[in-house]
Chain A
Amino acid sequence: MSTTTKNEVASHELKATPMDPSVQAARDEKIQVAMIGLCGCWGCTLSFLDMDENLLVLLEKVNITRSSLTDIKRIPHRCAIGFVEGGVANEENIETLEHFRENCDVLISVGACAVWGGVPAMRNDVSLEDCLKEAYIASPTAVPQAKLTIPYHEDIPRITTKVYPCHEVVKMDYFIPGCPPDGATIFKVLDDLVNGREFDLPASMNRYD
């Protein structure tokens, strides 16, 4: 999110203690990898964590910036490989995804939501008005006597009329289906790309659920 017009500072704009130059230089030489989450449930991001000790072998070659493993809010420099979880459901998702596309060489959709919209896309067969009414006005879990309103504020990203797969917003290079895909599947893709092999997901590893 950009905060240039507001009297606010985003976390990625805060001053940080500079990294030791030798450590930074060693990291900069590696293949930069990042993962962002858009409209999903973070399950695919957890699968990224499920690469477990396999990741240790790869750390010789890769540096992981923004991801579930770190606390980086915006990728600090250009990345070679970017993973995307979740589909596009609001304006902030569009901005984040476009920024990621501009700054990554290879982008990969991870999971059903990024690939085709997934569970959030189940709202695509009702109008946005009905969807928000169901959530905030006619909600069975609404607090009694509360003033029922659809929240609106400039800091709340405006939601899009429909939920879109990532590749309908920017160009995506590869796709890993699954809800979520296993850590082993994400590792196979990352390992292949890092070692200069072609993207190859065999039928035995492909899953849509």
Chain B
Amino acid sequence: MSVRITIDGKVVEAQEGEALIDVAADNGVYIPSLCYVRGKPCLGTCRVCSVRVNDSVMASCTVPVTDGMEVKVNEPEVTDMRKALVELLFVEGNHNCPSCEKSGRCELQAVGYEVDMMVSRFPYRFPVRKRDHVSKHIFLERDRCIFCQRCVEFIRDKESGQKIFSIDDRGTKASIEIDVELADKMPPEQVREASDLCPVGCIIEKGRGYDEPIGQRKFEIQSVRERALMGDEK
């Protein structure tokens, strides 16, 4: 059923039940996100796509549109909230772009630019988290994980459908884990898929390194905003 909602004062038409973040993108309004992948089930973990819906702040990937919904994306308060959420992610791990192989095709970095982050307002924590290099094809750089759970949900063993990645423990002790036996069975294209799906430089493909020159990297060719507005998965 067709419904009408307003986004930043503009009336737009959508199909009832569509994800708000998609409706916004289809109507030229970019909402940054780090966990949502268009066409895949919503995870709702990163909250970076928060907007004001009627009078509540909600993650727009979790909101199915309904008739008469009033949405504010670019009002100052909620814009600053999204920026603060990105800034929190930058201090919570070690996001050392100059030394990271993912730089240039990292969604966290690209979204940082889109929310105009120059520095984090929060103190940098420099956490110490053990790296996992046991798997044959994958480096797991745990201090970059933002717990989006994309890899947990969307990367599964081809035969059994079992999860290859999982999150162990909770809160400050939470840690991304890899099932080495299943990971070693991953075909090369699935390793590439996992590393591309990771929005940060946590899942790094062994043997791949700095293969695109600066200036020709993914988000330098086309920004994350342009990609989202074109209906690209991310």
Chain A residues engaging chain B, CB cutoff 8 angstroms: 109, 112, 115-119, 121-122, 124-125, 162, 165, 167-168, 174-177, 179, 201, 203-204, 206-209
CB contact under 8 A between A203 and B113, given known A116-B119, A177-B119: yes
A109 touches B103 (CB 8 A): no
Q: How far is the CA of A122 from the CA of B114 in the complex (A)?
A: 26
Q: How far is the CA of A125 from the CA of B123 in the complex (A)?
A: 15
Q: How far is the CA of A201 from the CA of B114 in the complex (A)?
A: 11
Minimum Cβ distance to chain A for residue B173 (Å):
17
A-B contact pairs, 29 of them (CB 8 A): A112-B98, A115-B118, A116-B120, A117-B126, A119-B96, A119-B99, A121-B126, A122-B96, A124-B126, A125-B127, A165-B119, A165-B124, A168-B123, A175-B118, A175-B119, A176-B118, A179-B97, A179-B98, A201-B116, A201-B118, A203-B223, A206-B113, A208-B98, A208-B103, A208-B109, A208-B112, A209-B97, A209-B100, A209-B103
- Interface flags for B81-111 (1: CB within 8 Å of A; 0: not) read 0000000001000111111100110000100
The 7 nearest A-B residue pairs measured at CB: A179-B98, A208-B97, A175-B118, A209-B97, A124-B126, A175-B119, A203-B113
Q: How far is the CA of A115 from the CA of B118 in the complex (A)?
A: 8
Chain B residues engaging chain A, CB cutoff 8 angstroms: 90, 94-100, 103-104, 109, 112-114, 116-120, 123-124, 126-128, 214, 223, 225
A121 contacts which chain B residues (CB < 8 A)? 96, 124, 126
CB contact under 8 A between A177 and B123, given known A119-B96, A122-B99, A209-B97: no
B118 touches A209 (CB 8 A): no
A116 touches B118 (CB 8 A): no
The SS class assigned to the B binding surface is loop
A204 contacts which chain B residues (CB < 8 A)? 223
| In the complex, residue of chain B having the shortest beta-carbon distance to the beta carbon of A163 | B126
| In the complex, residue of chain A having the shortest beta-carbon distance to the beta carbon of B220 | A207
Q: How far is the CA of A208 from the CA of B96 in the complex (A)?
A: 8
A115 contacts which chain B residues (CB < 8 A)? 118-119
A208 contacts which chain B residues (CB < 8 A)? 95, 97-98, 103, 109, 112
| In the complex, residue of chain A having the shortest beta-carbon distance to the beta carbon of B103 | A209
Q: How far is the CA of A175 from the CA of B112 in the complex (A)?
A: 14
Minimum Cβ distance to chain B for residue A99 (Å):
22
| In the complex, residue of chain B having the shortest beta-carbon distance to the beta carbon of A115 | B119
Given contacts A167-B119, A179-B98, A209-B100, list 5 more A-B pairs with CB under 8 A: A118-B98, A119-B99, A125-B94, A207-B113, A208-B112
Query: Contact partner of B118 among A122, A125, A177, CB < 8 A?
Result: A177
A179 contacts which chain B residues (CB < 8 A)? 97-98
Q: How far is the CA of A112 from the CA of B120 in the complex (A)?
A: 12
Q: How far is the CA of A136 from the CA of B94 in the complex (A)?
A: 26
Query: Contact partner of B116 among A116, A118, A125, A206, CB < 8 A?
Result: A206
Q: How far is the CA of A168 from the CA of B125 in the complex (A)?
A: 12
Q: How far is the CA of A209 from the CA of B98 in the complex (A)?
A: 4
B98 touches A119 (CB 8 A): yes
| In the complex, residue of chain A having the shortest beta-carbon distance to the beta carbon of B126 | A124
Q: How far is the CA of A96 from the CA of B101 in the complex (A)?
A: 34
A118 contacts which chain B residues (CB < 8 A)? 96, 98
B223 contacts which chain A residues (CB < 8 A)? 203-204
